Structure 1
Amino acid sequence: MMQLITGPLLVTSGLGSAWSDYAAGMLKPLAALVIVLVAVIMSFIQKLDLEKEMIYAIARSFLQLSVIGFILEFIFKQKNLIWIMLAYIFMVVVAGYTAGKRAKHVPYGGYISGASIFLGTFFTMVFLVVLNVFPITPRYIIPVAGMMVGNAMTVTGVTLKRLRDDLRLQISMVETALALGATPRQATLKPIKKALVIALSPVLDNAKTVGLITLPGAMTGLIMGGASPLEAIQLQIVVMNFLLGAATFSSILSTYFCWPFFFTKTQQLESKVFYED
């Protein structure tokens, strides 16, 4: 009988303790809202009309991070690798949806973004596991996967939006190339290259200046956790390489997946993609 009673009591006590620790630890983050309040006031004074969006953004981030914190606390204690895949798939779905919203004029933009991000990051993650850079546990794999998916999401969304916009501006050039016998891929080669260069430029600039301007997240986390800066640098180099690779793979794949939808079956430009806002 005692076991039946004390079991639930221990669980309840554990949850209560975790919640009280969380509540106590949130005092400083709540105090940091003063900075947001200053930003809101400045927006109001300058008549930027961003006050509601700022408040909404900070409230949403607060809620999301709080919920994710409890979810990760649970997942990190699990030994089943299925939780890694579930978390990874969830991140890819959200990233694909977000990138698709940026490229809203691209047909099936969300599906194209999701497929590109999945393939680009999945093979990178497999290589990461094969090299045994990190222990294959949720605590290590999920944060790294999140960085890769987030990076690929940004690049893919920019690539798709930029490609569609550039093609819209160069319709005459593309149609002339098609009339002269070029394939759709050949006719759009220059806009594709331009879109990829623009989308990948921030990633490349970040790689060039890493450590000189900012210390990346993985490196900062390790140093703050007590690791040697030299060990943190070694790990950060690996992470940066994979981030660059995943972003490049995903953005290039997105161009291959999307350009067929820019053309009709008779290899003519799809008017509804470029003439409708």
Structure 2
Amino acid sequence: MQLDPTWNLAIALGVLVVVGTLVAAWGRLRLRGQVVVAAVRAALQLAAVSGIIVAAIQQLWSSALFVLLMFTIALITTTGRVGTRNAWWWSGLAMASGAIPVLLVVFITGTAPLNGFSLIPIGSIVVGNMMTAHTLAGRRYFPELRSNIGVYEAVLAVGLPRRRAIWMVLEPVAAEPLVPTLDSTRTVGLVTLPGAFIGVLLGGGTPLQAGASQLLVLVGILVGQVLTVTVVLRLIGAAKLLPADLRDRLRP
């Protein structure tokens, strides 16, 4: 879908932000103006980044640097959200473990040409979704560990290792960070027609080409998130990827 930056767009965005803010306040969601801040930041960032992309996309090396910059910002964002900035390198490893294999498969197989026009859009989709997986995992696993510290200590008390104690707490919720992506993949075409599909159609592609593009995106995201979440679990089990408070409490 192509939209021009007209007053109609400005009015629509303003109405949406006002509605979101008012409903958030009515629902006591405690967002404290985050809807407005997020919308304004999105507008400013997209305006600024448009010119950078035009320049970066022309060369493979500059496109790779741009994707690396996006990865860095994603890492800062997700570690701040889940409280693992004290262990950001492990968070980075988990995200890279999901993003790099997917990108390698896509480009080594020749599914997409290795150039800036492919690397930036595909890289941004993959990196963004690995950030989401890391955030969902951290926000599910760390509260679970905090609220079940007694189970963890009981398992240690019977002589089992720390990794096993942590896994016994997290095993029932281990797959939960993947539920949104699993649902999106299972219901594609039946509930939603995602952006890649619509984008190819509006760009003049055939429905078959649009379906192929969307399938690649969905499967790549799903597999990448499975890898990221699995690495997150392993790093938590080794007591490496933990917020500061849990690092102290989960000592053997």
TM-score, normalised via structure 1 length? 0.78
Deviations 1:20-74 (CA, angstroms, capped at 9, x unpaired):
xxxx942143243342354167449848576843332221111001111111111
| CA distance, structure 1, for counterparts of residue 139 and residue 103 of structure 2 | 26
Measured after TM superposition, the shift of residue 242 of structure 1 is 0.7
8 Å contact from structure 1 (residues 216, 236) kept in 2: yes
- CA gap 1:36/1:165 in 2 versus in 1, 3 angstroms: same
> 1:142 is matched with which residue: 120, 124, 127?
120
2:41 matched to which residue of 1? Answer: 60
Measured after TM superposition, the shift of residue 110 of structure 1 is 3.2
Pairing 1:1-277 to 2, within 5 Å after superposition: 25-27=4-6, 28-36=8-16, 38-39=18-19, 42-43=22-23, 46=26, 52-76=33-57, 78-79=58-59, 81-104=60-83, 106=84, 108-261=86-239, 270-272=247-249
Deviates more, 1:118-127 or 1:51-60: 51-60
The alignment partner of 1:244 has SS state of helix
Q: What amino acid does structure 1 have at the position aligned with 2:19?
A: A
- CA gap 1:253/1:32 in 2 versus in 1, 3 angstroms: same
Q: Output the aligned Cα RMSD.
A: 2.7
Measured after TM superposition, the shift of residue 250 of structure 1 is 0.9
| CA distance, structure 1, for counterparts of residue 147 and residue 122 of structure 2 | 38
Deviations 1:217-267 (CA, angstroms, capped at 9, x unpaired):
11111011111111110121122111101111111112222333379xxxx
Measured after TM superposition, the shift of residue 107 of structure 1 is 6.7
Structure 2: where are the runs of 5+ without partners?
none
| CA distance, structure 2, for counterparts of residue 272 and residue 246 of structure 1 | 30
Report which structure shows greater RCO (CA 8 Å, sep ≥6).
Answer: 2
| CA distance, structure 1, for counterparts of residue 247 and residue 18 of structure 2 | 48
8 Å contact from structure 1 (residues 40, 51) kept in 2: no
- CA gap 1:40/1:170 in 2 versus in 1, 3 angstroms: closer
- CA gap 1:173/1:143 in 2 versus in 1, 3 angstroms: same
Percent of aligned pairs with the same amino acid: 25
Q: What amino acid does structure 1 have at the position aligned with 2:103?
A: M
1:20 matched to which residue of 2? Answer: none
The alignment partner of 1:188 has SS state of helix
Q: What amino acid does structure 2 have at the position aligned with 1:211?
A: G
8 Å contact from structure 1 (residues 112, 258) kept in 2: no
How many correspondences in the alignment?
Answer: 243
| CA distance, structure 1, for counterparts of residue 168 and residue 249 of structure 2 | 22
| CA distance, structure 1, for counterparts of residue 199 and residue 185 of structure 2 | 18
Measured after TM superposition, the shift of residue 137 of structure 1 is 1.4
| CA distance, structure 1, for counterparts of residue 25 and residue 177 of structure 2 | 34
| CA distance, structure 1, for counterparts of residue 50 and residue 140 of structure 2 | 35
8 Å contact from structure 2 (residues 98, 228) kept in 1: yes
Measured after TM superposition, the shift of residue 193 of structure 1 is 2.9
8 Å contact from structure 2 (residues 17, 35) kept in 1: no
TM-score, normalised via structure 2 length? 0.85
Q: What amino acid does structure 2 have at the position aligned with 1:250?
A: T
| CA distance, structure 2, for counterparts of residue 141 and residue 148 of structure 1 | 10
The alignment partner of 1:193 has SS state of helix
Deviates more, 1:45-54 or 1:221-230: 45-54
